[in-house]
Structure 1
Amino acid sequence: MASTSTASFPQQNFDYFLILDFEATCQDGEKIKPCQEIIEFPVILLDGQTFEEVARFHRYVQPTVCPKLTPFCTDLTGISQEMVDNQPEILEVLQEFDDWFNERNLSDKRFIFVTCGDWDLQTQLRHEGKYKKFEVPKYFSEWINIKESFKKHRGYKGYGMMTLLKEMKLQHSGRHHSGIDDTINIAAITKALAKEGFVFEPTGKAPEKKGKKNVR
């Protein structure tokens, strides 16, 4: 017999959902060149039956191409220069995440990443990998854009995380554009959609790209 915690959720296609929301270097009015760099790498692991958090990975990342954060970036994300100085660079953080991922034997499970938009895994990680010549791990090649899931479920478009929270009648938690706080809110949206009976399917897929370095 199903427990009270799982009875209200439909059977899902995945055993685990990995909620992800990168923060990256930025400046007001234009993109940083030659590339944006990830400065916060948070992932919350949700159980696919209970939609409760079972683990989390959270690292700040030291940028190397444009190592000094702009005041705009700090104001937007709450990430100060001191929070990224002397932190591991992206390749080391990717290795740490790979270890974390494998410690939980997720490759043997049905899993998928969940983001709020396609930027994190379709654009940012791949562009940074291309510029810095590292290979993006294969498990980042498919994901769920929670905005697309919301649109499919409700029949109309949700324009961002704050809009989705409002439409789902959820209280915003923490600071908007803090990566770890955003993952907490995206996890809440994911759980609320499931509680309304939604069964998640992948919405985004990126081609695997080869590079000169590997995190494994």
Structure 2
Amino acid sequence: MYTVHTLFVEMSTGAQAATASNNSLPAQNFDFFLVLDFEATCDSATKIVPQEIIEFPVLKINGKTFETETEFHTYVQPTANPRLTPFCTELTGITQDKVDGKPTLQETMKIFEKWMEEQGFLDGRCSFVFVTCGDWDLKTMLPGQCSHFRIHLPQYFKTWINIKRTFQHVMGQYPKEDLMGMLKGLSITHQGRHHSGIDDCRNIANILKALAERGCIFQPTYRL
């Protein structure tokens, strides 16, 4: 049995007050935003082929309050190149013991599909869209690995918001430093470790909310 971390965030009195203050946020076209940021095998000297996802985090963001309701998070066992490089560990903070014995990507995709079903995303009860920092996660990384290992890629992964493009639209300039540049441009303090997938998701979520507070109505920026 694999343990996948799912955090349910209960709304406290303070959060309820914050929700009331969020009534001024613009109405969105989606009930929920799913913030996603993969980490993958990598090396500084050579290109790893195939590159494999080793961290799979997703935040479920309420489209009215822009608060996180649930987190899906698991580390993933790479199979073609199961040993992480020192560079990869230094960059991401992911050590070998964190991925050893964890579900493979094929198993993770099945677990995530079940999570999506439990959240009501697969029966039409609510609308949602993925949010990423760039197009790499869902244009290159996931489709490439699914193709290599002959894993089915669900249709819902084929539309997303590249928040860097949205930031450019709202702020008038493309973020040269990616995530850190957007945080700086919006005067948001960085939280956690950069290149930790779950921490990057939380920072992207803060950017998402800050752009909404500036009147942004989010639209998909890419479809496969």
- Common topology (TM > 0.5): yes
Residue 110 of structure 1 deviates from its aligned partner by 1.3
CA offset digits 1:35-80 (Å, max 9, x no partner): 1000000000000000000111000000000000000000000000
- Residue 135 of structure 1 aligns with an amino acid whose one-letter code is H
Among 79, 96, 99, the residue aligned to 1:81: 96
Number of the residue aligned with 1:200: 218
Cα separation, 2, equivalents of 1:65 and 1:155: 42
State the alpha-carbon separation in 1 of the partners of residues 215 and 28 from structure 2. Answer: 10
The offset of 1:7, in angstroms, is 1.5
Matched, 1:97 2:112: yes
SS of the residue 1:112 aligns to? strand
Amino acid aligned to 2:161? I
Letter in 2 for 1:67: P
1:137 to 146, 150, 154: 154
Post-superposition CA distance 1:148-201 (Å, at most 9, x none): 000111111112000000000000000000000000000000000001110100
Match of 2:187 among 169, 187, 191: 169
Q: Distance in 1 between matches of 2:116 and 2:219?
A: 21
Consecutive unaligned residues of structure 2, counting only runs of 5 or more, are 1-18
Identity %: 51
- The match for 2:142 is 125
SS at match of 1:93: helix
Cα deviation, residue 31, structure 1: 2.1
Give the residue type in structure 1 aligned to 2:79.
T
What is the alpha-carbon root mean square deviation over aligned residues? 0.9
Letter in 2 for 1:46: I
Structure 1 unaligned blocks of 5 or more: 207-216
Partner of 2:9: none
CA distance in 1, matches of 2:72, 2:47: 27
Q: Matched residues in 2 for 1:62 and 1:73: separation?
A: 14
- Match for residue 23 of structure 1 among 29, 39, 51: 39
Q: How many residues align?
A: 203
TM-score, L = length of structure 2 = 0.89
> Per-residue displacement from partner, 1:129-154 (whole Å, max 9, x unpaired)?
11101111111010000000001111
Q: Give, in whole Å, the separation in 2 of the partners of 1:139 and 1:180.
A: 21
Task: Give the distance between the partners of 1:185 and 1:65, measured in 2 at CA.
Answer: 31
